[in-house]
Chains A and B, each alone.
Chain A
Amino acid sequence: MAKYIGKRLLYMIISLWMIVTATFFFMRIAPGNPFASEKKLPPEIEANLNAHFGLDKPWYAQYWEYLVRIVNWDFGPSFKYKSQTVNDLINEGFPVSFLLGMEAIFIAVAIGVLLGIIAALKHNRWPDYTAMIIAVLGISVPSFIMASFLQYFLAIKMGIFPVARWETFMHSVLPALALASTPMAFIARLTRSSMLEVLANDYIKTAKSKGLSSGVITVKHTIRNALLPVVTYMGPLTAGILTGSFVIEKIFGIPGLGAHFVTSINNRDYTVIMGVTVFYSILLLVSILLVDIAYGIIDPRIKLAGGKKGE
């Protein structure tokens, strides 16, 4: 187990280092310098600015400084908003995104699992077909389209929910639903197929012949085993929620980190793009690692020591 975690940690660090290095060099070769879109600056001021941000040093010195800063969890200043650092943006935006993301994950898992269970228990009957049609729709409709449709019909046309902004719980319902729709559909399909697989096992037959009620069989024997594959989906789920939040926050005008990220892309605010990308990557890689470790603990049949993942 320790060996496995060590190996995974090593891979994770190599992946992260690649991301950090890639962001650094990408941003160096990106067209235009950070001050190019402002008014034409006098050369003295430009030289001062370059000195201030350390841009006058050779690239390897800059690269090394950047690595050291990231290890110290310092993502540097924003080029566009002079008074703010990237850390400020993360501290300010991330709690909002985190809350929204958690709500979406809760919706996706709760409804997805429920749909999957209903579909499997009523296999090849109308509840199954209904649940699977909902799932196919959820997979086919990208989150930003779901968001615009929800906003148009439920908020603008019917006025049930507020159209945008981030104030009360009611404001969070539509964005969370839009964010949850695709992962929910995946979870529903995953739960259904793994439920069907478990239901075909001999121990279910044994439980039935012992005279257990179908409720007890479903809760105690089937669901517990069937939910294991859903746990493996938690990693991709986090990734989906995270990237989905870019557009959802833009559509609903939510002041989260995703919205800041999109703004920084449109502003070509390179330090923010770099910082937030690195931050998101760390978040993702750590959560995927945690999920894998958790999976090994929950399911004793999985032996982690081999170090081969998901085969």
Chain B
Amino acid sequence: MQISKDKFKLVGTQLSEAEKISKPSLSFWKDVFIRFRKNKLALFGLVLLGLLIFMAIFGPYMTPYDYASNDLVNKNQPPSSEHWFGTDDLGRDVFARTWEGARISIFIGVAAALIDLIIGVIWGGIAGYKGGRTDEFMMRFADILYGVPYLLLVILLMVVLGQGLTTMIIAMSITGWINMSRIVRGQVLSLKSQEYVLAAKTLGANTNRIMAKHLIPNSMGPILVTMTLTVPSAIFTEAFLSFLGLGLTPPLASWGTMANDGLPAMRYYPWRLFFPATFICLTIFAFNVVGDGLRDALDPRMRK
């Protein structure tokens, strides 16, 4: 087959042209976001999460009813145009209570994750960076504490310290930070022998600066994933404790206490259980798929 010469054209003779980067360079997090966006389920989770948070903020203002005020004339009303999610055994509006509960449940989840983050990063960071004896001692301590069954310890603490929001967060954080500290330690251990750390040391940076400017920011990916997955487990623990009767005290509402109140009445007034239960599941689902999506997006092995 003959191809006539005029079909060909000279391109890229100039070296500078060939070296030119045609795509705008991506920062690490932009790259992560592009990969995250391809994961439909994770994206759906993110949207769902956004909606849930939006409703937690604005939901209580959408109805004229207050989450705590009783209305004994209208108790156990099924969902209607008046009470969107019905009312409970004291005539409290379930819609208002659901979103008030969302605030508390999400608050507990995020607070537990933040406390885990702070303790875990400090503990794991020091253990990983110092290494040697310090590391051995700190991690053995974590191992032993890790051996203590989590939920049993939390139950025990709730019995002793008494019920309430603060106690619950403290109880969850006492062993919750261990997972985070292990992950941070692993990251710091593998990063501290990198050349840029040596370079920073040569330039005279002290330990605090190396930690804060180099090691922790570079471990941000796994830390973020762990945090995202801590939130649903804290929300679950809250619901579980409330369900055991160890949760918040009335009139405060969390999804767990609402489900616990609704359970005995399930046969006749199913909506009192249905709404809080569904939102617990949706929130846990959203955080889980977002966490999974983040993990996949951050994992370089997933790169094509």
Taking Cβ atoms with an 8 Å cutoff, the residues of A that contact B are: 11-12, 14-15, 18-19, 22-23, 26-27, 29-31, 136-137, 139-142, 144-145, 148-149, 151-152, 156, 239, 243, 246-247, 250-251, 262, 265-266, 268, 273, 277, 280-281, 284-285
Report A-chain residues with C-beta under 8 Å of the C-beta of B239. 142, 144
Report A-chain residues with C-beta under 8 Å of the C-beta of B285. 136-137, 139-140
- Mostly helix, strand, loop or mixed at chain B's interface? helix
Which of B149, B160, B267 contacts A243 (CB under 8 A)?
A: B149
Which of B156, B232, B236, B263 contacts A251 (CB under 8 A)?
A: B263
**B288 lies within 8 A of A273 (CB):** no
Closest CB-CB distance, A240 to chain B, in whole Å? Answer: 9
**A140 lies within 8 A of B240 (CB):** no
**A149 lies within 8 A of B277 (CB):** yes
**A29 lies within 8 A of B259 (CB):** no
Question: Within 8 Å of chain A (Cβ to Cβ): is B34?
Answer: no
Report B-chain residues with C-beta under 8 Å of the C-beta of A281. 148-149, 152
Q: Using known A-B contacts A148-B273, A152-B270, A281-B152, determine if residue A14 contacts B144 with beta carbons closer than 8 Å.
A: yes
Closest CB-CB distance, B285 to chain A, in whole Å? Answer: 4
Report A-chain residues with C-beta under 8 Å of the C-beta of B282. 140
Which of B144, B157, B263 contacts A11 (CB under 8 A)?
A: B144
Question: Within 8 Å of chain A (Cβ to Cβ): is B153?
Answer: yes
Stretch at the interface among B12-20, B53-61, B243-251: B243-251
Closest CB-CB distance, A20 to chain B, in whole Å? Answer: 11
**B244 lies within 8 A of A247 (CB):** yes
Report A-chain residues with C-beta under 8 Å of the C-beta of B143. 11
Question: Within 8 Å of chain A (Cβ to Cβ): is B147?
Answer: yes
Closest CB-CB distance, B146 to chain A, in whole Å? Answer: 8
Q: Using known A-B contacts A265-B245, A277-B152, determine if residue A142 contacts B236 with beta carbons closer than 8 Å.
A: yes
Give the distance in Å from the alpha carbon of A250 to the alpha carbon of B246 in the complex: 14
Using A145-B281, A247-B240 as known contacts, list a sample of 7 further A-B pairs with CB atoms less than 8 Å apart, ordered by residue number in A: A23-B156, A30-B160, A141-B284, A142-B239, A142-B281, A243-B240, A281-B149
Which of B157, B162, B288 contacts A140 (CB under 8 A)?
A: B288
Question: Within 8 Å of chain A (Cβ to Cβ): is B115?
Answer: no
Q: Mark B126-159, 1 if CB is under 8 A from A, else 0.
A: 0000000000000000011101111111011101
Q: Using known A-B contacts A144-B240, A148-B263, determine if residue A273 contacts B280 with beta carbons closer than 8 Å.
A: no
Closest CB-CB distance, A273 to chain B, in whole Å? Answer: 6
- Residue contacts A-B, CB under 8 angstroms, 9 given: A18-B148, A19-B148, A26-B157, A142-B284, A145-B259, A239-B150, A243-B149, A243-B151, A262-B245
- B205-251 contacts to A (CB < 8 Å): 232, 236, 239-240, 243-246
**A266 lies within 8 A of B245 (CB):** yes
**A144 lies within 8 A of B259 (CB):** yes
Which partner residue on chain A sits nearest B143 by CB separation?
Answer: A11
Closest CB-CB distance, B41 to chain A, in whole Å? Answer: 8
Report A-chain residues with C-beta under 8 Å of the C-beta of B160. 26-27, 29-31
Give the distance in Å from the alpha carbon of A44 to the alpha carbon of B281 in the complex: 54
Give the distance in Å from the alpha carbon of A151 to the alpha carbon of B150 in the complex: 28
Report B-chain residues with C-beta under 8 Å of the C-beta of A262. 244-245
Q: Using known A-B contacts A140-B288, A142-B240, A247-B240, determine if residue A148 contacts B159 with beta carbons closer than 8 Å.
A: no
Give the distance in Å from the alpha carbon of A22 to the alpha carbon of B75 in the complex: 44
Report B-chain residues with C-beta under 8 Å of the C-beta of A30. 159-160
Report B-chain residues with C-beta under 8 Å of the C-beta of A140. 232, 281-282, 284-285, 288
Give the distance in Å from the alpha carbon of A11 to the alpha carbon of B157 in the complex: 23
Report A-chain residues with C-beta under 8 Å of the C-beta of B104. none
Closest CB-CB distance, B83 to chain A, in whole Å? Answer: 21
Which partner residue on chain B sits nearest A276 by CB separation?
Answer: B152
Taking Cβ atoms with an 8 Å cutoff, the residues of B that contact A are: 41, 143-145, 147-153, 155-157, 159-160, 162, 232, 236, 239-240, 243-246, 259, 263, 266-267, 270, 273, 277, 280-282, 284-285, 288-289
Which partner residue on chain A sits nearest B276 by CB separation?
Answer: A145
**A12 lies within 8 A of B147 (CB):** yes
Q: Using known A-B contacts A14-B144, A243-B149, A251-B263, determine if residue A265 contacts B280 with beta carbons closer than 8 Å.
A: no
Report A-chain residues with C-beta under 8 Å of the C-beta of B288. 136, 139-140
In the A-B complex, the 10 residue pairs with the closest CB atoms:
A15-B147, A140-B285, A26-B160, A243-B151, A145-B277, A30-B160, A140-B284, A141-B281, A140-B281, A284-B149
Give the distance in Å from the alpha carbon of A19 to the alpha carbon of B149 in the complex: 9
Which of A18, A142, A266 contacts B280 (CB under 8 A)?
A: A142
Closest CB-CB distance, A28 to chain B, in whole Å? Answer: 9
Report B-chain residues with C-beta under 8 Å of the C-beta of A23. 156
Give the distance in Å from the alpha carbon of A47 to the alpha carbon of B162 in the complex: 26
Give the distance in Å from the alpha carbon of A246 to the alpha carbon of B241 in the complex: 10
Closest CB-CB distance, A192 to chain B, in whole Å? Answer: 13
Which of B150, B156, B263 contacts A26 (CB under 8 A)?
A: B156
Report B-chain residues with C-beta under 8 Å of the C-beta of A137. 285
Report B-chain residues with C-beta under 8 Å of the C-beta of A273. 156, 159
**B152 lies within 8 A of A243 (CB):** yes
Which of A141, A247, A284 contacts B243 (CB under 8 A)?
A: A247
Closest CB-CB distance, A174 to chain B, in whole Å? Answer: 14
**A268 lies within 8 A of B159 (CB):** yes
Give the distance in Å from the alpha carbon of A136 to the alpha carbon of B145 in the complex: 30
**A239 lies within 8 A of B246 (CB):** no
Closest CB-CB distance, A110 to chain B, in whole Å? Answer: 24
Report A-chain residues with C-beta under 8 Å of the C-beta of B144. 11, 14-15, 18
Closest CB-CB distance, B179 to chain A, in whole Å? Answer: 12
Which of A144, A239, A266 contacts B149 (CB under 8 A)?
A: A239
Give the distance in Å from the alpha carbon of A173 to the alpha carbon of B198 in the complex: 61
**B156 lies within 8 A of A246 (CB):** no
Report A-chain residues with C-beta under 8 Å of the C-beta of B280. 142, 145
